[in-house]
Amino acid sequence: MFKCVALVGATGAVGRIMRQLLESRHLPVERYRFLASARSAGSTITFQGKPIVVEELTKQAFAGCDLVIATTPDDIARDYLPAAVEAGATVIDESGYWRMDKNVPLVIPEINPQEALKVKAGIISSPNCSTTQMALALKPLHDYGKVKRVVVSTYQATSGIGVQGQKELIEGTAAALKGESYNYTAFKHPIAFNCIPQIGGHKEDGYTSEEMKMVYETRKILGDESIMVCPTAVRIPVSNCHSESIMVETERPISPEKARELFASFPGIKVVDDLHNSQYPLPSTSDGCDLVYVGRIRKDISHPNGLAFWCVSDNLRKGAATNAVQIAELIAKHRFG
C-alpha cells in the first residue's frame, strides 16, 4: 500500500477528475495530500467522506510521499517535480515537459506497461491527449501489420485549453447568436461557429507544437522511430472530447474486417461502426467515458495498404486523468499484488 500519495494540481479541471477516479477506483493508499497554487492553498476538499485541506505546492511539500501524480503546466513540472524524485517518490506527470526526455518513459498502460514498472524513484510521463487516443488505436494495427505512415487530422475540443476554453465557447456562442461582440482571451480567433487550424505555437516546417507532439510521442510510445506521421491539429466548437480522422499505411494490408477484429480485441478500445444505421463515435456520446472509440473503419481507396478510420475519446479522461490513474494502478499491482 502507498503510504502517501500527493496529487499536484488537485483543484484544476484534470485534477478534479483524478480525484473522482481515485475515489471510485480504490487505489491502495494510506493517506492523500492535495497540492496546488498559493491561490488555492487553505481551501478544503471533501474526499472519501473526509475533509482534506489543500496545501501550497513547494519543493518541501513532497516529504514522506512515495507516489506523486501531477497535472501542471510545463514550467511547474520542470521546477518542482525533480524535488519529488529527490524525496524518493515515483512521479506520474501529465505535463509535456518530460515526455521526450530519453531517461523518462512515456506510458500508455495498454501499450507499454513494462516501461512504468522500471521506475522506482523517478518520473513517468503520460502522453499528450491527442497522441494517447491515436497511439492506442494504432497499436493493434502496428502489432499485426506494422504501421509505416499515418496522416491524421484532429478535431479538438475547447476543454483541451482548460475551463476557460469551455467558458468562452459557451459565452462566445451566446454572444454570436445575439449578434454581439465577445472578447476572447483563450483563443486567437472566435471559436463560436468556427474552426481554428492552429493548436500550439510554430514548431518546425510549418507544423505546430501540438502536431509535432503527435509525431515524436507516437514513435516513442510504439517504440518505432521509422513511423512517419503527418498531423494537422484543429480546434473546433465542441466542449469536450477530441475526434481524429486517421489514415494508416501498413507494411502488409489490413482489411476493414480484420481491423474491426483487431480493434475489438484490444483493451481500452470499443468499436462503434455501423454506417447504415448512423452509428459511429461522437463527442457527445464519448463524454465522461474512459475508452477510445473507433468507427468509420474502411479501406483507403487511394492506397492498396491503406486503412481509414475515425477515433473519439474524452481528452480529460483517457487523454489525461484516466491514463495517469491507470499508471498508478499498474504500479500498485506490481508492488503490492
pLDDT in tens, 315-334: 999 999 999 999 999 999 99
Terminus-to-terminus CA distance in the chain, angstroms?
9
Q: Under CATH, what is the fold of the domain 2-127+320-336?
A: Rossmann fold (3.40.50)
Confirm whether 2-127+320-336 and 130-315 share one CATH topology: no
| pTM of the model as a whole | 0.95
Question: Would you say residue 286 has pLDDT above 90?
Answer: yes
Name 26's Cβ contacts closer than 8 Å, sequence gap at least 6.
none
Instruction: Choose, from 129, 142, 241, 311, the residue flagged as catalytic.
Output: 129
| Superfamily per CATH, domain 130-315 | Dihydrodipicolinate Reductase; domain 2 (3.30.360.10)
- Domain map (residue ranges) of the chain: 2-127+320-336, 130-315
Question: Would you say residue 16 has pLDDT above 90?
Answer: yes
Instruction: Choose, from 142, 241, 242, 311, the residue flagged as catalytic.
Output: 242
Is residue 257 very low, low, confident or very high in pLDDT (cuts 50, 70, 90)?
very high
Q: What is the mean pLDDT of the chain?
A: 97
Is residue 302 very low, low, confident or very high in pLDDT (cuts 50, 70, 90)?
very high
Question: Would you say residue 337 has pLDDT above 90?
Answer: no
Mean pLDDT of 193-220: 97
Q: Is 195 a catalytic residue?
A: no
Using one digit for the tens of pLDDT, what is the confidence trace for 24-77? Answer: 998 999 999 999 999 999 999 999 999 999 999 999 999 999 999 999 999 999
**Rounded distance between C-alpha atoms, residue 36 and residue 139, angstroms:** 35
Residue 113, pLDDT score: 97
Percentage, residues of the chain above pLDDT 70: 100
Question: Would you say residue 298 has pLDDT above 90?
Answer: yes
